[in-house]
A and B are shown apart, each in its own frame.
Chain A
Amino acid sequence: MAAELTPSHRMEPQALRALIGRNKQSDKIFAIVGLLAMLVGVFALIWLLVGLVMDGGSRISWQFLTSFPSRHADKAGILSAWVGTCLVMLVTTFSAVPVGIAAGIYLEEYARHNWITDIIEINVTNLAGVPSIVYGLLALGLFVYGLGFGQSVLSAGLTLGLLILPVVIVSTREAIRSVPVAMREAAYALGATRWQTVHDHVLPYSTGGILTGIILGLSRAIGETAPIITIGALTFIAFLPPSPVTSEPPFISFEWLMAPFTVMPIQMFNWLSRPQTAFLNNAAAAGLILVVMTVGMNALAIWLRYRFRKKIKW
């Protein structure tokens, strides 16, 4: 820096002006380059969506949503896929959300500064960076064969639950951390226990942030393909899992947990790996529905974050 500045002391005013002009020029150039770089990303998104709509838009119909996969591309549909996705997400939500929130609460409100806490924190950070397919291998060894759940809805739901656990933990922690310490001090001053403070005061204020994290986690889980393929999910399922609601008492059945299944991204991948154009169009239609679901959930999360940030004024 210094070496560059010293000669400019002796610069003629004209040369100095030229230098300033060049520097200002580079400002303008970078402003354009930056804008272009952002547009590359936006353009890619638009190109991707347009491609899906052009190839698959015409395939989306009531018939497509209510038919099983078929050898005939024009009769095939995604019924078993979207039902499977819903059931798997149910398991994922019920496994990852309670554990994730509890872990977040522990790390923010209860954990002491000791080596156990350090180890937990390191693990949460590292798990977020583990490739998703490795979770698939874990599930293949642990759920499918180790615990004998087989290639079932339960195995898949738990796999994705493990996958989004770090997301839920991190967002819970961030949400809890944003609640001012004064709130807790006020509760403690009135004689509340630690749990009462957390349950009655900290949690209600952090609901928005936690909810955002859950939605983002689930939207990631919906689109995950690799770990589900790894546990050996079948790609051609022309039937539905047993209904969770039955006509006979006790009216609720958990047989579906053990049923074989397929999910949206796997159905799409299956169609993608066929050479016929008609099946590729089906893949595009399934992809379009998938993107609308995940992008919609992301948009909802962004909006929720904005809403809650606006509503709460400390």
Chain B
Amino acid sequence: MEGALLLSALSAVFITLAIVFVLVNESLAFFRHVSIIEFLTATQWTVMFEEKHFGIAPLLAGTLVTSAIGLIVAVPLGTVIAIYLSEFAPHRVREFVKPLLELLIGVPTVVFGYFALLSVTPMLQKILPDLPGFNMLGPGIVIGIMITPYISSVAEDAMRAVPMTLREGAYAMGATRFRNALTVVVPAALSGIIAAYVLGISRAVGETMVVAVAAGQQPNFTLNPMEPAATITTFIVQVALGDLPHGSIEYQSIFAAGLVLMLMTLALNVIGHLLRRRYREVY
């Protein structure tokens, strides 16, 4: 029995190995045709055109802009919600509003894409009349709304794990709720809050459908959120929709893009791990 159970548990290791193998294997084939120098320095990504350029920079720019907008929305919102739920909210409000917020996690990303394209962007166009129908701003904001509940729930868990005695100490010194939250609870839970941010960032970087639906799928080397663009993930979707022959350079290019994405999330997780260790408080 134990053997079968161990084998099941090892499946997690097998999956990781398989991901690394598939991505690296196809990427190696890709880099036999394309030099790594071109891949990293060229500023055009035109894999689907007659004249092919393989510079990942435009896709990275798209990923960067949409994720950054998402984080500008989600980090303050998620942090404030977490502090409020953990330190301020009356029991009734907590019991009622928290499940509603958790329901946001259950909404499929393609539906968020619809929301970005047909609800958020038209509203933004009323404020910014020059905004094109496909842009990075709308999807970025929607990504922010999407990852807010992830950040708030992980950060709140971290804050609630801070021992009551610390709060009681602060209150005994005459601290108000807000002071207690800002000077005692948040610093004590910092490692967990950072973990929440890292989770949010990797969600934003890996988000696909919102951007695929609402940002236009055109590789565009720009940092201007008012313009349409493609991200690493939307490029993969776009190629996969085109039904390309197995083994072609286009086919291999999506694995190279996937490898970059994987390395980005891996780097984020390592940084997060180091930061967490740096700020860990033991009680």
Contact = CB atoms under 8 A, between A and B. Distances in A.
Given A30-B84, A110-B5, A232 B12 contact: no
A140 B239 CA distance: 12
Contact of A230 (B80, B100, B236): B236
Interface string B48-69: 0000000000000000000000
B89 interface: yes
Given A27-B177, A127-B12, A294 B80 contact: no
A235 interface: yes
B35 interface: no
B215 interface: no
In this complex, the interface size class of chain A, counting residues with CB under 8 Å from chain B, is 35 or more
B208 A225 contact: yes
Contacts of B99: 299, 302
Q: Which of B99, B114, B258 lies at the interface centre, i.e. has the most chain A CB atoms within 10 A of its CB? A: B114
Contacts of A211: none
Nearest to B12: A123
Is the contact region of chain A dominated by helix, strand, or loop, or is it mixed? helix
B237 A102 contact: no
Nearest to A46: B100
Contact of B107 (A24, A30, A105, A295): A295
Interface residues of B, number: 82
Interface string A229-246: 111100100000000000
Contacts of B9: 102-103, 106-107, 111, 120, 169
B262 interface: yes
A297 B106 CA distance: 8
Interface of A: 1, 23-24, 26-27, 29-31, 33-35, 37-38, 40-42, 44-45, 47-48, 51-52, 55, 98-100, 102-103, 105-107, 110-111, 119-120, 123-124, 126-127, 129-138, 140-142, 145-146, 162, 165-166, 169, 194-195, 219-220, 222-226, 229-232, 235, 265, 268-269, 272-273, 280, 283-284, 287, 290-291, 294-295, 297-299, 302
Interface of B: 1-2, 4-6, 8-13, 15-16, 18-19, 22-23, 25-26, 77, 80-81, 83-85, 88-89, 93, 97, 99-115, 117-119, 145, 148-149, 176-179, 181, 183, 199, 202, 205-209, 212-213, 233, 236-237, 240-241, 243, 246, 254-255, 258, 261-262, 265-266, 269
13 contacts: A27-B177, A34-B84, A41-B104, A41-B145, A42-B97, A42-B100, A45-B107, A131-B206, A134-B19, A137-B19, A137-B258, A140-B22, A290-B110
